[in-house]
Structure 1
């Protein structure tokens, strides 16, 4: 099979020039979230590349979550990194590079750190939201689906209270991946009354510890929360292997 000439290889790499240009514009502050990219023709002429190279660069950046294309309006700088991370992690699952225990271990490490930071950084609004969520969970008369949503909201609020948006993005992505591959895990845990009570108790102690700034008690509650999840994951994995 004939080898590509250097000129063809260079042509194939022209899209990298476009990506580098967009990165430089973002770094310089000339492009921000919501900014519209220059038209394809303009970038092609300015950078000395083909319009196909510009299109390929924009496609790559869209996969990365950096840009979004709006039909009839053009291409814009975006902040879709969570979606890109979900897709990457999902592919790692499909390719057997990840398993549920590894995801749970990462979630535990991140949630433990986000909890300790929330103790220090939670705002009055974060505290009010956490109190309202626990109050709703305390009522204990909701459908399982509603309790699942409250569970997600509680963890999101603690991550937000950490003050580190990386925790929010990564934990949400990990949660979405778990939901995608074990869609009913939270409902499964809450379907059995003893497990449900243990989970709620862990949630309550996590929130109370943020109010009282008791890192040790809250950390123990986070550990118990994930021990419960890991126990159920192990059972589900074994059942799947035997079926």
Structure 2
């Protein structure tokens, strides 16, 4: 085992046992190195790994933000990994789309009409009505879908959708060049968004799930990512 992995293992153990929790601070670099009998370089390497994974935030200097603090941002590492693997074509876009359908239709079927996330979704729809640019629209579109996922109240689904966020916006934007009429597509997407939200607020989870699946698959089919493409 490489020495930085010993540090990772120790931190994982501290988190699992409850001796470290969100908001807690790690011992100083020198102290931790001496405690685990590893080099300070190994400690720094482990901390960098956990920063990239969204588990730690390292602050320098003095004051309330100094030191290495435990945070919780599970989308950080997942998002980075997914973007890179989509970019290398290791994860085909079609497979990512199918995963979206699976996650989002499940979330829509279980979304709670009283969830504050649905108020955020409605606000985003109003912003979509007033935006003209494709990039701005797609950014709002992704946030709308994340809000619907949040309304289901499942932290793992929300984290997975959050990790897909930038990959979704990136390839959705690249596919707009294949659309015959962006304005017509945007108008249709707005109407479909409102239909999905209306089904959820009417406690019709089954219909909401089907509408979400049709909405996602319809966009990519129109952009040339349908069966046989």
Which sections of structure 1, spanning at least 5 residues, go unmatched?
1-9
Structure-to-structure mapping, 1:45-194, within 5 angstroms: 45-72=34-61, 73-118=66-111, 121-137=112-128, 140-144=129-133, 145-181=135-171, 183-185=173-175, 192-194=182-184
Structure possessing the higher radius of gyration over alpha carbons: 1
Q: Is the 8 A contact 1:199 1:228 kept in 2?
A: no
Aligned length: 223
Residue by residue over 1:55-90, the C-alpha shift from the partner in whole angstroms, topping out at 9 and shown as x without a partner, is 222122223222222232232212233121121112
What corresponds to 1:213 in structure 2? 203
Q: Is the 8 A contact 1:190 1:196 kept in 2?
A: no
* Distance of 1:180 and 1:166 partners within structure 2: 22
Instruction: Determine whether 1:222 maps to 2:215.
Output: no
Q: Is the 8 A contact 1:39 1:74 kept in 2?
A: yes
Q: Is the 8 A contact 1:148 1:187 kept in 2?
A: no
1:180, distance to aligned residue in structure 2 (A): 3.4
1:104, distance to aligned residue in structure 2 (A): 0.9
TM-score, with length taken from structure 2: 0.83
Q: Is the 8 A contact 2:28 2:67 kept in 1?
A: yes
Judged with a 3 Å threshold, the aligned counterparts in structure 2 of structure 1 residues 232 and 69 are, in CA distance, closer, same or farther, namely: farther
Residue by residue over 1:182-226, the C-alpha shift from the partner in whole angstroms, topping out at 9 and shown as x without a partner, is 545569769623322321222111111111111232122112211
1:98, distance to aligned residue in structure 2 (A): 1.0
Coordinate RMSD, CA, aligned: 2.8
Q: Is the 8 A contact 2:113 2:202 kept in 1?
A: no
TM-score, with length taken from structure 1: 0.79
In terms of fraction of residues, the more helix-rich structure is 1
- Give SS of 2:24's match: coil
Judged with a 3 Å threshold, the aligned counterparts in structure 2 of structure 1 residues 186 and 155 are, in CA distance, closer, same or farther, namely: farther
- Give SS of 1:163's match: coil
* Distance of 1:28 and 1:152 partners within structure 2: 37
Judged with a 3 Å threshold, the aligned counterparts in structure 2 of structure 1 residues 95 and 134 are, in CA distance, closer, same or farther, namely: closer
